[in-house]
Amino acid sequence: MLVRSAALVPVEPAAPDEVLTLRGAGFGYGDGPVLSDVDLSIRRGEIVAIVGPNGSGKSTLMKGVLGLNERVAGSVTLFGIDSGEFNDRARLGYVPQRHTLSASVRATAEEIVATGRLPRIGWLGRLRATDRQLVARSLDVVGLADRAATEVSTLSGGQQRRVLIARALAGQPDVLIMDEPTAGVDAASQHVLADVLDRLVERDVTMVIVTHELGALERLLTRIVVVDAGRIRFDGTPQEYARARARVHHDHDSHHHDLELDGHHPSLAHGPFDVAHPDRSRP
Partner 1 sequence: MMDLLSVDFMQRALVAALLVGTVAPMVGIFLVQRRLSLIGDGMGHVALAGVAIGLVTGAAPVLTALVAAVIAAVVIELLRTKGRTNGDVALAVIFYGGIAGGVVIISKSPSGTPANLMKYLFGSILTTQRTDLYVFAGLALLVAVTTWALRPRLFAVANDEEYARAVGLPVLPLNIVLAVLTATTVVVAMRVVGLLLISALMIVPNAASQLVARSFSGALRWAIAFGLVSSVGGVALSYPLNTPSGGTIVLLAVALFIVTAVVTGVLARIGRRRHEVAETHAHEHGVECGHPAVNHGDHVDYVHDGHLHAAHEGHYDEHGVHPDHPTSAEQADPVQPAGTATGPTKGSRP
Using the rule CB under 8 A, is 115 a contact of partner 1? Answer: yes
* 3-state helix, strand and coil shares in percent for the chain, rounded to the nearest 5: 35, 25, 40
Among 22, 166, 192, 209, binds partner 1 (CB under 8 A): 192
Residue 19 is given by DSSP the state: E
Rounded least distance, CB 51 to partner 1, Å: 21
Rounded least distance, CB 266 to partner 1, Å: 24
Instruction: Residue 233: name the closest of 177, 277, 264 by CA.
Output: 277
Q: CA 155 → CA 98, 104, 149, distances in Å?
A: 13, 15, 11
Using the rule CB under 8 A, is 150 a contact of partner 1? Answer: yes
Using the rule CB under 8 A, is 156 a contact of partner 1? Answer: yes
Query: CB-wise, 104 or 281, nearer to partner 1?
Result: 104
- Compute, in degrees rounded to 10, the torsion defined by CA atoms 111, 113, 114, 116: 140
Residue 9 is given by DSSP the state: P
Return the SS3 of 49. strand
Query: CB-wise, 33 or 64, nearer to partner 1?
Result: 64
Instruction: Residue 66: name the closest of 76, 74, 80 by CA.
Output: 76
Per-position DSSP letters for 139-207, written without gaps between them: HHHTT-GGGTTSBGGGS-HHHHHHHHHHHHHHT--SEEEEESTTTT--HHHHHHHHHHHHHHHHTT-EE
Segment contacting partner 1 by CB under 8 A, of 50-58, 155-163, 205-213, 265-273: 155-163
Binding mask of the shown chain, residues 211 to 230, with x at each position contacting partner 1 by CB under 8 A: --------------------
Binding mask of the shown chain, residues 63 to 102, with x at each position contacting partner 1 by CB under 8 A: ---xxx------------------xxxx-x-x-x-x--xx
Segment contacting partner 1 by CB under 8 A, of 45-53, 72-80, 136-144, 271-279: 136-144
Q: What angle do CA 5, 11, 13 make, to 5 degrees?
A: 175
Among 3, 7, 9, 145, binds partner 1 (CB under 8 A): 145
Using the rule CB under 8 A, is 151 a contact of partner 1? Answer: yes
Query: CB-wise, 94 or 234, nearer to partner 1?
Result: 94
Instruction: Residue 59: name the closest of 68, 46, 71 by CA.
Output: 68
Q: Kindly list the residues in this chain that would bind partner 1 in the complex (CB under 8 A).
A: 66-68, 87-90, 92, 94, 96, 98, 101-102, 104-108, 111-112, 114-116, 118-119, 123-124, 127, 140, 143-147, 149-151, 154, 156, 158-159, 167, 171, 187-189, 192, 195
